[in-house]
Amino acid sequence: MFLYEKNFELQKAKALENLKVALEKDLVDKDIISLLKKINSLENYFTTSSCSGRISVMQMPDFGDKLNAVWLGKWHREVELEEVLEAIGKHSEGMLWFMLHSPILHISAKTLEDAVGLLNLAISCGFKHSNIKSISHKKLVVEIRSTERMDVPLGMNGELWVSEDYLRKVVEIANLQLRRAKEKLRKLENEIERLLKA
């Protein structure tokens, strides 16, 4: 059997310390901080990483080469067309993408039962792509994520393939999807709060 339970307390203390430093350095998405704090208040869980959902414009030097990708614009909130156009203006080479990503949280659980409990809670809040991301002797990680997603190719090597009108529509759809995803985060936070009070 797996031994992830063994070092849980030690790892949790370390993770909370890391989170404290990240908060001091202003590295955590504002609209997810209170959710992280609530999850960390639950005895058998701690958060290890998170993103509250984002809209972005990305330049990828070679196809699929995410390691060398450059963010030309990244927002954890709804955006204006003008902001997206400004980011696109910085594009010079490689492939240009507009993207929307669902919120994502990685949470260590103490036992398999704890992991499955959180997984099912997340799914019930609309995070349908939630799963158990990894199990090893060192850790047991639940991934909370939703289905909202857009990956739209916009151009290549400085050339833009789409019109401003098209971008306006894409931004509108992305904002709608992001809003929906953030509502799921609030729903999850309410459910975690109920657990804390119980």
Binding-site size, its own copies (CB under 8 A): 32
Give 80-88 contacts, CB < 8 A, sequence gap 24+.
80/171, 81/164, 81/167, 81/168, 81/171, 84/55, 84/57, 84/167, 84/171, 85/164, 85/167, 87/57, 88/57, 88/154, 88/155, 88/160, 88/167
Stretch 178-197 residues interacting with its own copies (CB under 8 A): 180
CB 23, CB 174: distance < 8 Å: no
Window of 12-20, 26-34, 39-47, 131-139 that interacts with its own copies by CB under 8 A: 131-139
Using rule CB under 8 A, residue 165 touches its own copies: yes
Stretch (H or E) spanning 2: none
CB of residue 106 to its own copies, shortest distance in Å: 12
Q: Which is closer to its own copies, CB of 28 or CB of 142?
A: 142
Give CA–CA dist 29/9, Å, rounded. 25
Using rule CB under 8 A, residue 132 touches its own copies: yes
Window of 19-27, 44-52, 79-87, 108-116 that interacts with its own copies by CB under 8 A: 108-116
Binding site residues, its own copies, CB under 8 A: 1-2, 63-64, 95, 112, 115-116, 119, 131-136, 143, 149-153, 156, 161-162, 165-166, 169-170, 173, 176-177, 180
